[in-house]
Amino acid sequence: MGKTALITGINGQDGSYLAEFLINKGYTVWGILKRNSVAENQTFRIDHLRNTPQLQLEYADLLDMASLVRVLQKSKAEEIYNLAAQSHVRISFDQPIYTAQSTGIGTLNLLEAVRLICPEAKFYQASSSEMFGNNIDADGFQRENTPMNPVSPYGCAKVFAYNICRNYRNSYNLFISNGILFNHESPRRGSNFVTNKVAKEAARIKLGLSDKLVLGNTQATRDWGHAKDYVEAMWMMLQHDKADDFVCATGVSHSVQYLVDYCFKIVDLDPAQYVSSAARYMRPEELHDLKGDSSKMRSTLNWQPAYTFESMMEEMVHYWLDFYTK
């Protein structure tokens, strides 16, 4: 019989790919949905999985510990992937308290429920490169021992979650691993994150459906990988014989301006004619540069990504071209 996993954030970008990945491996997958008034499109990323008997969905919320207790008791999950969060950095400046509660305290609610109900379960925490802030090692990379100095409410909340996971691992001998994941994208990325915003607007401009793309800081650089590669890394971390923390990144970094130039090249347009900037997309404090060294993950778990930045952006731009011409 296959294993049982619980995914919080199952209807998000990563949750949807992870659910697919685990179901293909023979797992029974439980997922939690937080209540949303628009039921029709809340599950659009996992609707193609809805008819499989291996998928079980329950209403629950990281802020409602009783609901987490109920789902843990019902699912009897052996692996728990905590992917739920208010995950948008810019929005975390507008909603800092909600972000701290859901992304930070929400993780503690789940950990405490796991400690009381199923301490033998393995736990994956979705930690983030945003925790490093602007600290960079001398060689230009961030890695597991780079000091953390977050520059957003989201980053601060993730540092709390990361540390409380380590504290629970050490205090109670639980199997809890932090994946410190750098930016990862896909056609399922929310279109208010920069890669999918640029891919979508490049396609819309090409098709005559739009005539402008308004961005914030285009000088920032990010290490962008593909979400499909990164959910495999999450699973690998929980198959390892020892709970630990791992950076997951491509090791290649590009500026937002390079991203714009690359997407407009795919649709054969000159970005200078369409792209402008506006203060509303700037952050009160910016994280300037991210580039991850995932040597530990690659050598210990034998992980390596299948996608490049270029193949991923081709997939995303073509997804939107197809979407608007169907």
Q: Which residues bind ligand F7E (CB under 6 A)?
A: 87, 89-90, 128-130, 182-183, 192-194, 197, 215-218, 220, 222, 256, 281, 283, 286
Q: Which does 30 bind (CB under 5 to 8 A by kind): ligand NAP, ligand F7E, none?
A: none
31 or 153: CB nearest ligand F7E: 153
- Single-letter code of the amino acid located at 153: P
Q: Is 9 left (phi over 0), alpha (psi -120 to 50) or beta?
A: left
From 20, 130, 185, 232, the catalytic residue: 130
State how far the Cα of 10 lies from the Cα of 3, in Å rounded to an integer.
17
Residue ranges in 86-115 that form contacts with ligand NAP under rule CB under 6 A: 86-87, 102, 106
Q: Which does 215 bind (CB under 5 to 8 A by kind): ligand NAP, ligand F7E, none?
A: ligand F7E
Instruction: Give yes or no: 128 in active site.
Output: yes
Q: Is 42 in the site for ligand NAP (CB under 6 A)?
A: yes
Please report, for residues 143, 144, 206, 252, 287, the alpha-carbon distance to residue 139 in angstroms, rounded to integers and kept in the order given. Answer: 11, 14, 40, 13, 18
Q: Which does 283 bind (CB under 5 to 8 A by kind): ligand F7E, ligand NAP, none?
A: ligand F7E
Q: Mind giving me the DSSP string for 159-213?
A: HHHHHHHHHHHHHH--EEEEEEEPPEE-TTS-TTSHHHHHHHHHHHHHTTS---E
Q: Which does 98 bind (CB under 5 to 8 A by kind): ligand F7E, ligand NAP, none?
A: none
Closest chain position to ligand NAP (CB):
12
Tell me, by CB under 6 A, how many residues bind ligand NAP: 27
204 or 222: CB nearest ligand NAP: 222
Q: Is 183 in the site for ligand NAP (CB under 6 A)?
A: yes
From 154, 162, 168, 262, the catalytic residue: 154
State how far the Cα of 148 lies from the Cα of 18, in Å rounded to an integer.
27
From 16, 127, 128, 294, the catalytic residue: 128
Instruction: Give yes or no: 154 in active site.
Output: yes
| Among residues 19, 55, 85, 313, the one that binds ligand NAP under rule CB under 6 A | 85
Please report, for residues 101, 156, 203, the alpha-carbon distance to residue 211 in angstroms, rounded to integers and kept in the order given. Answer: 39, 37, 11
**Residue 309 and residue 252 in contact, taking contact as beta carbons nearer than 8 Å:** yes
4 or 128: CB nearest ligand NAP: 128
Catalytic residues: 128, 130, 154
